[in-house]
Chains A and B, each alone.
Chain A
C-alpha cells in the first residue's frame, strides 16, 4: 500500500504548517541537542565512559531519577485528589485555591528553593519540630523530593482536572445504581477513565523533576555522593572548565530521559486506546 502523504483536510496549509513545525522544532530543540551530542562525540569512548561511570556520576543519576520518580508518584496521587476536589466540590475560596495551583509555574525556582530551605532547615518553622522527631528534611533526599513535588504539582492537577470535569455524573449514578460501592465506582469506572490523563500528568511532572535545578540546589545541600543531583554535577564540571565531562553527563541524562519518556508515552497510548 502506498503511503498517502497528502491527506484531504478541511483546514488549508497542511504543508506550510508541517514545514513550520519541523523548522521550529529543529531550531529550538534539535539544533542545541545536536550540538551537545556532537561535542560529546569528540570524546573518545573510554573518556566518555569514565566521565559517566564515575562513582559520583552514578550516584547522582540514581539520586536524580529516584527522587524525580518518587516525587512524580506522590504528585500523581495528591494531584488527582486536588483535581477531584476542585472539579467536583464547591466550597468558599475554591477559585483562589484553583489559582494558587499555578503559582509553582510562575515562581522563579530559586525563590521556591530558598523558601523551602527556610521552612525545612533545622531551625525552620517545620524543620525544627521535625528535627526533634529525628526527621531531617533539608540537606537530605527528602528535601529534594519536597522541592520536586512543589514544582511538579500543577502538571498533574491541570491535566486531570478538565477530564474529571467532563466526566458525566451519570456514569457514577449508573454504577451506584447497579449496586457498586463507592470504592468500586471509583476503581472500576472513574479511575480507568482518568488514567490516560493521569499518566500524562505523571510524565510531565517526572520530566520536569529530572531537569529541575533552581529549587533543588538550595535545599539539597549538594553533598557529593549523597545529595548531589546530576544537573548540579554538570554545573560543577562546567565551573571547573571540564566541558567534556559536563557534555558527557548531559548526553547520558538526555538519552535516559528520552527512553523513559518514550516508554511512558507508549504506555499512555496503550491505556488511552480503549477510550476512543
Chain B
C-alpha cells in the first residue's frame, strides 16, 4: 500500500518556454533545458512544504536528516519541498509552510531568535521540535553565557517554553530513521488516502502527546515515571538509546550516571513503558512495509 507517487508527466507551461524564444530566437537549446526544470517544479504541487528553522543547536539534527542519504533525495523529490533552511534554501524570511522542523533551543536574550520562533509558529501549520535541544533543552541546559562574542547570551529554553509545539522528535541527535518515519507519516497525514491518514495520525499521536507533556526529560524522568511507578521490566532499551553511555544495568535494572546525562530524553522516550500504543505497534509489519515502500 505504498503511497501513489505524485504525477510527474505534466506538460510544462507553454508561456515559460515561449517567452525566452520570443526574446532570443537563436538560443533554442537553452529552451529545452528550461523545459526540464519546469517539469520538476510541476511535481512540487502535491508535495508538502517543509522548512528547517535553526535556533541554538549544533546542526547535528540537520546532519541526521541528511544522513538518510538517498532517502533524503527521495523525500525531497516526492514528498517534501524544502522552502526554508539556512545554507540549503535561498530564502531570507521564514515563509508559510506545512511543516517547520525546528532545531535547537531559543536564546531568550537574542531577540532575533525569539522573533524567529514566534514567526515560525505563525507561519507553519505543524511545528516539529527536531532533536533534544528543541524538545528538552538538552546540552544547552548547561549553558551559562560568558562566551565571545555575545557573552550576555546565556539563557536557553526549549521551544515549547515559548510556543505551542505539535510534534516531538527527541534525542541527540535524532536518528535519520526516526526523521524519515515522521516525514513519511506527515506526508501521509496531509496527502494520503483516508486509511493512510488514520494510520499516520495514530503513528504521530504519541509524538504529539510527548509535545504536550512538557519540556523536560532526562534519566530522572525514567526514574520518576517508569522505575518509581513500578513499570520497569529491565528490557535494556534505555541503555541502548543513551547517546553518552550513561546507563548501565545493575541487577537487571537501569542505573544512570546522572552527571553524564545531557538531558536529551532518549532513554525516557525509547522505553516501552514510558508510552506504548498497541494500535500502532500491533501493525508494525504493515507500517514498516509502508515506510519501506514510500522510500523506494
- Please indicate whether A and B come from the same complex rather than being unrelated chains: no
